[in-house]
Structure 1
Amino acid sequence: MANQGGPRRSLSITTSSLQRKRSMDISERGLDVGRRSLSISRSPRGFTGGERTVKRLRLSKALTVPATTTIYEACKRMASRKVAALLLTDSNEMLCGILTDKDIATRVISQEVNVEETPVSKVMTRNPVFVLSETLAVEALQKMVLGKFRHLPVVENGEVIALLDIAKCLYDAIARMERAAEKGKAIAAAVEGVEKSWGTNTSVPNTFIETLRDRMFKPSLSTIIPDDTKVLKVSPTDTVLTVAKKMVEFQSSCAVVMIEDKLRGIFTSKDILMRVVAENLSPSETTVEQ
């Protein structure tokens, strides 16, 4: 059995399964790997990325604990390491699940689970999706966005070597966008040249150019936020338990704190993990403002 700070040897999955993954097509449902399976989902068709791989993202070693660890102890360990997720191992030190701050908010606090007596195995996400270390960073980001999760175990040579946070991929994507923007300056100059060539009396070409300019160089948040997006709003006097239940209802991991229609702050599932559960505070008696 692994010790509480992590297994004595690297987490493992079946190497032969990884070899098969490289030599055969993977079904849309993913490939089962290892004794307690992980799933590798196929990258979206037509999606191509850049050159940077997951391994080059300065990965941090994953925090691991046995699946028999209590929720409270797991939360304390996450808080001490300042991480929002950890990996769970079975009696054979095989990866069997993942636990995140969102799981704590929606599966533990909202359901009023006893954190001091319940093992993490009862609330963890089983069979987590993972990526290989040579996977393109942009592909890993796409996988997390489509799967609506923020953490991915990273596997190399059949062993789990790290836990990838979506923020790492976002930083890489932003850097790529900045480089693309530099190249875009030449396009902008070309667009401006076309405008001058067509003159101001040609309405249709000018309309096209304006639309092109707006789409390429002045994107707005409205282009990525759906019209029917619902924002979870709470009061500073709401209890943590109340907010956790609303997070489940809104399928959200964060809430905006309002006072008389004015934004006063934000409250997230990570706050619940770090500031409530890890500090052994009562969710039903602790308010958001506390």
Structure 2
Amino acid sequence: MRENRTTAVLVKDTDDAVSGIFTSKDVVLRVIAAGLDPKKCSLVRVMTPQPDVADLEFPIQSALRQMFDGHFLNLPVVDANKDIVGIVDVLKLTYATLNQIKKIELSSSDNSANSSPEEGPAWNKFWTSLDNEDSESLHSDSITSAPDVTPSEFQLFNVDIGPSDSISAVGESMSSRPAESSILPVEEAFIFKFKSPAAHGRVHRVSVKHDETLEDLRSFIDAKLHHSDYEALSILDRLKDTYAISYIDDEGDVVSITSDSDLKDCIRVNRELQSKKADLYLHSPHEAAPLAMT
């Protein structure tokens, strides 16, 4: 990204098909904020899988609206054969949008004698013009099909952007209305509770951060267990055998946690249930999980 001066790269799988996108936003939120080592962390952990795409013939308004709705800063572009031909970022589309507005302003100035005296929100008209125009005018390069607004309205968008200007600075000059931040806070560590397999009535608690794995969870649990706990789980050789981890999902079913995705599903299900913790059940892989915590 640095060598090519881009804000995003596409990630391909072993079949040479695009499986995700990795952007500067992912660097900030999923690598730096999470405290991951960029030299060791793999792309698959921090990329955005199966990104949305825009058609090559999309108007700028449609692409901007798609990026706004999905909170994207970068959007891959595909041709008629659904092959990716490039990536556009929000700043480039903003440049193009402002250039369109300036052209409309010049056109309105040249035809001020015939301008409509009615004034309204220019930005709203600019967006809603996409819905009001037919398919032919959408793909027309003529500025005569632009929304009918007055020069005074477009003066609000008369912003000159330099190469070093930030997107946030441009946004502040274009609108005084507070916008919802697209930066999501890093989730707090999730708490798991489990009963000691050997000591009746003893309950342990461990916490797992959003970027930690099933292997991390097992290491946290192992630190709480004693030799008698492994005996109760029928584990004689800890190097060869291990215990099973299960939980009760939102439908009351016993679900085994055997992968990182299972762990994330467990956390997601409990968060959706407004639960700040989840009960885990440790048991032999050859036996059913106990269904009661004491």
- Fold-level match, TM-score > 0.5? no
Band of TM-score, shorter chain = 0.3 to 0.5
Larger Rg: 2
TM-score, normalised on structure 1?
Answer: 0.42
